[in-house]
DNA sequence: CACAAAACGAGAGCACTGCTCTTGCTTTTC
DNA sequence: GAAAAGCAAGAGCAGTGCTCTCGTTTTGTG
């Protein structure tokens, strides 16, 4: 895989990367809908048809960007988790770290976030390649709960209202697939928290909080702590200095 | 406004409606990204340039569709609320009714849902016209809490962890703006529940639950009940016969 | 080394898009 | 009845994704 490469092959990987980089630049500026292969080729100084030797279609390029976005977000989440103290530390702090990292990344890369967590592109169905990177944030969240469980800092779930059978089956399947050493109700709670984390972030990034909530960071932190409590995570909340400070509503005209 | 209209004016409103209807048809089939003015004009048998006499741009057409979508969703939510018993009835049932109506509408109209709650269109910023219809679901949720409060069926919020100042300000502003006779912590809780409701629905509609949760309706109902409990809504959960039955994952290839 | 095979870049071209402008025609208004 | 306004259609512009062909360059192999 890392054999010494001929000049041509090296040029190929370089150009492929250059195309993806320029595409990501345009994506970050204008959004996925306005990403134009011709524009990418233009700023790269090559003919638009030449671009098709590297990415057979616009969808393929988008897929590459999607994978990268998942990976960047996942890496940020993992980094934040690693920096938030050892596995034996207070789980609430670690939980907050991961959640705040997700929010911070999303606010910094709104178009890339929209690409992976927004409305799916019409004719496009995410290929299986994306499932691995897509799971990284979820795995980080799982790690927090798992470590807390292992170190006895995972209390009882907030409200376990008799897991219905289908949900229990899902939880057990997930626990088996991902090797999560947690009881089914905890897994179900974890999935719910995962969904709500991204619900919070999406609402903010997509501008749905405009004219409703101004204290975005406080709102987010509050919700995150509540999620953690419902999971049974213990520890004191670190309330000061949120990962992303307040900013005015980001709408245009 | 409802003066008798000349033939020309009548034709105008008819054609305007026909354009919007056809556009909505294409939107429902292909999604907002693939909505083409020329295609609409084609199936309507008119020249594409003629269409611009009725909608000055694609964005204006989209705005009309957005308003309609908000209104349709809001109407469904209000209808479900009205059918879920009197204001003095058990608030949990009414809460569930509204939430389920939102989910059902979203699953039936995924592209229209994506138009209003998905990633925003690049150059497009929602005009103020949309804010009224957009608020209808929120107002229905507020009505549930308000009625419960008025009839003494609103318990204490689940976990009021010392509302931070910015959030409290937001809550008080909202309570004043919308005339909500509820204490600030309850308003804050309500907003959080509102966000999480749409987070749940969006995750499901946008296919993020694929390969994770199969028992979608159970998952949703569970989360909705938890939201209601955290609000302090009382009553027994109606668990049987969810508004939308299970269906297999809706992904393509 | 020579030569066929593969990879490559550029250009032309197709079908499509949103949108504008001009040209006639019809309806309304004075 | 004439002037004004509204209207439909067509041509056209600039842009898009994508395909195909045609020379050129690089590669691996006999």
How do residues A128-148 score in pLDDT, each as one tens digit? Answer: 788 889 999 999 999 999 999
Q: Does B249 touch chain A (CB under 8 A)?
A: no
- CA nearest B178 in A: which residue? A212
Distance A106 CA to D3 C1' (A): 60
**Distance between CA atoms of residues A156 and A27, nearest Å:** 44
Q: Does B252 touch chain A (CB under 8 A)?
A: yes
- CA nearest B224 in A: which residue? A192
Distance A19 CA to C6 C1' (A): 23
pLDDT at A163 > cutoff 50: yes
What is the average pLDDT across B99-121? 94
What is the average pLDDT across B82-97? 95
pLDDT at A153: 76
For chain B positions 116-145, those within 8 Å of chain A (CB to CB) are 117-123, 125-126, 131
pLDDT at B76: 98
pLDDT band at B5 (very low <50, low <70, confident <90, very high): low
Distance A49 CA to C14 C1' (A): 14
For chain B positions 142-181, those within 8 Å of chain A (CB to CB) are 159, 161, 163-167, 169-170, 174
How do residues A62-108 score in pLDDT, each as one tens digit? Answer: 999 999 999 999 999 999 999 999 999 999 999 999 999 999 999 99
What is the average pLDDT across B73-78? 98
- Taking the C1' atom of every nucleotide in all shown strands and the CA of A8, the nearest one is D26
CA distance A50 to chain B (A): 26
Asked if B91 contacts B234 with a C-beta cutoff of 8 angstroms, the reply is yes
- Check if residue B249 sits with its Cβ under 7 angstroms from strand C: no
pLDDT at B1: 43
pLDDT band at A226 (very low <50, low <70, confident <90, very high): very high
Radius of gyration of chain A (CA): 21
Query: Are A230 and B226 in contact (CB < 8 Å)?
Result: yes
Q: Which two structure tokens, joined as six digits, stand for A250?
A: 């980001």
**CA-CA distances (angstroms) from residue A202 to A197, B3, B204?**
9, 45, 13
pLDDT at B12 > cutoff 80: yes
What is the average pLDDT across B211-226? 96
What is the average pLDDT across B205-218? 94
How do residues A165-213 score in pLDDT, each as one tens digit? Answer: 999 999 999 999 999 999 999 999 999 999 999 999 999 999 999 999 9
Output the DSSP codes for A40-108: HHHHHTS-HHHHTTT-SSHHHHHHHHHHHHHHHHHHHHHHHHHTT--TTS-HHHHHHHHHHHHHHHHHH
- CA nearest A113 in B: which residue? B119
Asked if B224 contacts B190 with a C-beta cutoff of 8 angstroms, the reply is no
- Check if residue A16 sits with its Cβ under 7 angstroms from strand C: no
pLDDT at B207: 92
Distance B48 CA to C22 C1' (A): 15
What is the average pLDDT across B31-51? 96
CA distance A199 to chain B (A): 4
Residue A154: strand, helix, or coil: strand
């Amino acid at each position: 895989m890392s054999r010494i490469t001929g000049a041509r092959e090296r040029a190929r990987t370089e150009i492929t990367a250059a195309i993806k980089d320029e595409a990501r630049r345009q994506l970050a500026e204008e959004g996925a809908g306005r990403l134009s292969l011709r524009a990418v080729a233009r700023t790269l100084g090559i003919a638009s048809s030449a671009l098709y030797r590297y990415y057979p279609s616009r969808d393929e390029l988008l897929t590459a960007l999607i994978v990268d976005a998942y990976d960047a977000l996942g890496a940020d989440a993992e980094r934040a988790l690693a920096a938030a103290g050892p596995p034996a530390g207070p789980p609430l702090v670690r939980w907050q770290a991961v959640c705040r990292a997700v929010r911070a990344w999303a606010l910094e890369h709104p178009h890339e976030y929209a690409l992976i967590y927004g409305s799916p592109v019409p004719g496009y169905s995410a290929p299986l390649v994306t499932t691995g990177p897509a799971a990284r944030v979820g795995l980080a969240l799982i790690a927090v709960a798992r470590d807390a469980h292992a170190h006895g800092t995972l209390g009882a779930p907030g409200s376990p209202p008799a897991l219905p059978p289908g949900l229990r089956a899902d939880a057990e399947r997930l626990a088996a697939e991902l090797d999560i050493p947690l009881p089914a109700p905890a897994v179900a709670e974890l999935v719910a928290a995962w969904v709500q984390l991204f619900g919070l972030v999406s609402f903010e990034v997509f501008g749905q909080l405009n004219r409703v909530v101004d204290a975005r960071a406080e709102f987010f932190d509050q919700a995150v702590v509540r999620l953690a409590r419902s999971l049974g995570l213990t520890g004191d909340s670190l309330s000061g200095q949120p990962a992303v400070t307040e900013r005015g509503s980001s709408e245009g005209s």
